[in-house]
Structure 1
Amino acid sequence: MQNEQRYNFMRFRGQAMILSLLLLAASVAGLAIKGLNFGIDFTGGTIIELAYDEPADVDAIRTALLDNGYERASVQNFGSAEEVLIRIAPRPQESSAQISNQVMDMLANQHNEAFELRRVEFVGPQVGDELTEDGALSLIYALIGVLIYVALRFEFRFSLGAVAALVHDVTITIGVFAWTQVQFDLTVLAAILAVIGYSLNDTIVVFDRVRENFRTVRDGTPVDVTNLAVNQMLARTIMTSVTTLLVLAALIAIGGEVIYGFALALIVGVVVGTYSSMFVASSIALALGVSKEDLMKPVKEGEDDSAQEEELHRIFLEEEAKREAREAQAAAKK
């Protein structure tokens, strides 16, 4: 085991937990002080669909709306480059018809492109309230599902560590949106649900390696075994995170304003999720006292200790053979 262990990550689990608590406190403070900048999906408002004769300049339309006092307006192509969907936050003193007329007059005066009005719709605040409630429930149901799955797949203390890591990741991601005031809409909510899946996948892989190490490594404390598991999965974790971040960085750079919130949520979620799978989930499981006995297969009636030791030794030899085969394959590729 000592030859495989390269970095003592678990040595820093205390400092990591302090850092996590500080980040969580900052996120909660951001939500309490500034709150989320909800998009029209949650607040309601006016939807205007326009059809241009030529591909529309979405950035120019967005700038024109911003210059004329529509700070929270959302502009995006809808179906094709010639069709544009404009979403405008509610204005208590103005009706949807007045808002649509003002927008059309403003665009007609500032741009030479010909366009026609396809439709105008008003989304009431009750729809936004329903979406907010459904979004919160979807997060809660996801966490409950994770709790049940990990408890059945591994051990209950592992499930508590996995759920705590997911709550940690979601809270910090939402906290970033609170402090930056980037618009929080349905695409961001979808990104947060994706973060839950990404972080859980990484955590499950580490937990699976911890379980196998508990069954195959004869010596070493639970901390040593967990640290070995993190080291064994380190290369996979880094490569997965880096390749994902490269794609998300491209979305941030060239994806435009429409995709910005989605990409930002995933970037924060991937970074925090990678960190939590290495430190938070495993550290909480260790703090709750998970041990080798919790993950050992129950001894069948009539099976003595020597038989169990032989079975453990057999499993250990199989794991060693698999590891050596992987290392030989990797060396052959180089």
Structure 2
Amino acid sequence: MGLYLIKNDLNIDFVGKRKIAYVLSVLIIAAGILTMVLTGGPKYGIDFAGGATAQVRFAEPVSDEVLKTSLNGAGLPGLVIQRFGDDSRTYLLRISVGEESSSGVTESIAGALRQHMAGKEFEIQRVEMVGPKVGADLRSKALEAMFYATLITAIYISGRFEYRWMSATIMAAVLGGGMFALGAFGVNKVLLVFLALGCTVVLCWRLKLVFALGAVVSIVHDVLITVGVFAMLGKEFDLTIIAALLTIVGYSLNDTIIVYDRIRENLRNNEDQPLSVVINQSINQTLSRTILTSGTTLMVISALLLFGGGIIFDFSLVMFIGVLVGTASSMFVASPILLAMGDDVVSHAHIGVDERPRDTDGRVAGQV
């Protein structure tokens, strides 16, 4: 007999609670957008804004004020001092430099510290530099990566659940090609990405790509909430954060596919039941697997948050937020959206005779 974390006969009304989830999501997304508007947009790290980051470690603890005073006359524009790690010996120095070389930045910092903090032993462990033009290019490339990941997701979901590979591929080719062409004419790529995402949602709805629509909306929902919460915490966005967001897209998609698979299977076996009942039944049946998968993932991420150190802290934080949001969205966003499409879900799900062996409860043998 198998061990079940959650009972198989649960009947939680996830679909009935979807409006509450929608309101909470809208409030969090709005709070995140408002925060970015009031603070002048996302807080970019060196990767996106350009500049230099220097990591300095002292042999003994020093105070923030002493270090800041010592560097004031070093000619380091836009200097921001931040403790790095758990002690008061390692600092990150963020500088808005132009065309100066890394060796020049190193000499400026070292000279100021030797002059104003004589007797204090220190080591400049690393200096990283990104030019302003490169930073702007990285920002646009990061957004493009998020968009193309969403397009590929739409193709995969449409092909797997509706066998509509051609429709989804043509849609993706038109959107991707259009964005590339407009970008070549100098149209702002950030604006293009948001416009293309909106067009993706509209086209999925118009083309009746019902499962792709739910997945795309879920992905956009997860990214917007994660970015909003991260912005409200006052954190900086860099390439590491983009890597975490792309990981979240994959995680959220995996969880959504599990629920979608069960919905399609239950539609085969319960053609006469209302769609809302089938969706609720499917979410409840996969709840144990969802909680087990998310729980073990969050345990690992929590260990990274607590013991991983400052270098990967922000990455781990984004992952933690994203896994929580992605788990919730597969139950309260991706699946309930199918209900809005009504009969299109049934007609596009390619329900046929399923001859796979089944357990006594009617589910495919070996599934949880």
1:146/1:72 CA distance change after superposition, 3 Å: farther
Give the drift of 1:244. Answer: 1.1
Cα shift at 1:28: 2.1
Give the equivalent residue in structure 2 for 1:209: 262
Q: Does 1:164 align with 2:217?
A: yes
- Contact 1:66 1:73 (C-alpha < 8 Å) held by counterparts: no
User: Which residue matches 2:232?
Assistant: 179
Distance verdict in 2 for CA 1:25–1:199, change over 3 Å? same
* 8 A contact 2:52–2:95 mirrored in 1: yes
Larger Rg: 1
Q: Which residue of 2 aligns with 1:197?
A: 250
SS at match of 1:46: strand
Shift of 1:214: 0.3
Q: 1:110/1:222 Cα in 2 relative to 1: closer, same or farther (>3 Å)?
A: farther
Do the aligned partners of residues 120 and 259 (structure 1) sit closer, same or farther apart at CA in structure 2, a change above 3 Å counting? Answer: closer
Contact 1:215 1:292 in 2 (8 A): no
| Counterpart position of 2:12 | 7
How many equivalent residue pairs? 299
The 5-angstrom pairing of residues 78-227 of structure 1 reads 88-91=94-97, 99-108=105-114, 109=117, 112-113=120-121, 122-155=129-162, 156-227=209-280
CA distance in 1, matches of 2:214, 2:130: 40
Residues 1:41 and 2:47 aligned together: yes
AA partner of residue 295 (structure 1): A
C-alpha distance in 1 between matches for 2:60 and 2:256: 40
User: 1:273 pairs with 311, 326, 339, which one?
Assistant: 326
Give the conservation status (yes or no) of the 8 Å contact 2:44–2:237: yes
The offset of 1:231, in angstroms, is 0.6
1:184–1:261 Cα contact (<8 Å) kept: no
In the alignment, the residues of structure 2 paired with residue 241 and residue 220 of structure 1 have an alpha-carbon distance, to the nearest angstrom, of 30
CA distance in 2, matches of 1:296, 1:122: 53
Aligned-pair distance for 1:275?
0.6
Q: Which runs of 5+ in 1 are unaligned?
A: 51-55, 77-83, 299-310
Verify the 8 A CA contact 1:40 1:87 in the aligned structure 2. no
From 211, 217, 231, the equivalent of 2:284 is: 231
Question: What does residue 253 of structure 1 align with?
Answer: 306
Give the TM-score normalised by the residue count of structure 1. 0.77
SS at match of 1:37: coil
Residue 43 (structure 1) shift: 1.4
Query: 1:44 is aligned with what amino acid?
Result: G
Task: Give the secondary structure class of the aligned counterpart of 1:154.
Answer: helix
Q: TM-score under structure 2 normalisation?
A: 0.70
194-203 or 122-131, larger mean C-alpha shift? 122-131
The structural deviation recorded for 1:58 is 9.7
Does 2:25 match 1:20? yes
Shift in CA distance, 31/114, structure 1 to aligned 2, threshold 3 Å: closer
1:140-172 CA-partner distances (Å, limit 9, x unpaired): 000111111111111411100100000000011
Secondary structure of 1:318 counterpart: coil
- Percent pairwise identity: 38
Select the residue among 274, 279, 294 that pairs with 2:348.
294
Find the counterpart in structure 2 of residue 53 from structure 1: none
- Tell me the distance in 2 between the aligned counterparts of 1:164 and 1:65: 47
User: Shift of the alpha carbon at 1:294?
Assistant: 2.7
Q: Which residue of 1 aligns with 2:172?
A: none
Q: CA deviation at 1:106?
A: 4.6
CA change 1:122–1:21 in 2 (3 A) is closer
CA RMSD across the alignment = 3.5
Do 2:210 and 2:345's aligned partners in 1 also have CA atoms closer than 8 Å? Answer: no
Return 5+ residue gaps in structure 2 as ranges: 1-7, 73-78, 163-208
Deviates more, 1:20-29 or 1:183-192: 20-29
Contact 1:73 1:86 in 2 (8 A): yes
Cα shift at 1:204: 0.7
Contact 1:65–1:73 (8 Å) recurs in 2:
no
Q: Secondary structure at the match of 1:279?
A: helix
Aligned-partner Cα distance in 2 for 1:139–1:58? 42
Residues 66 and 287 of structure 1: CA distance in aligned 2, closer, same or farther (over 3 Å): farther
1:36 Cα deviation after fit? 1.6
Report the CA distance shift for 1:106/1:126 in structure 2 as closer, same or farther (over 3 A). same
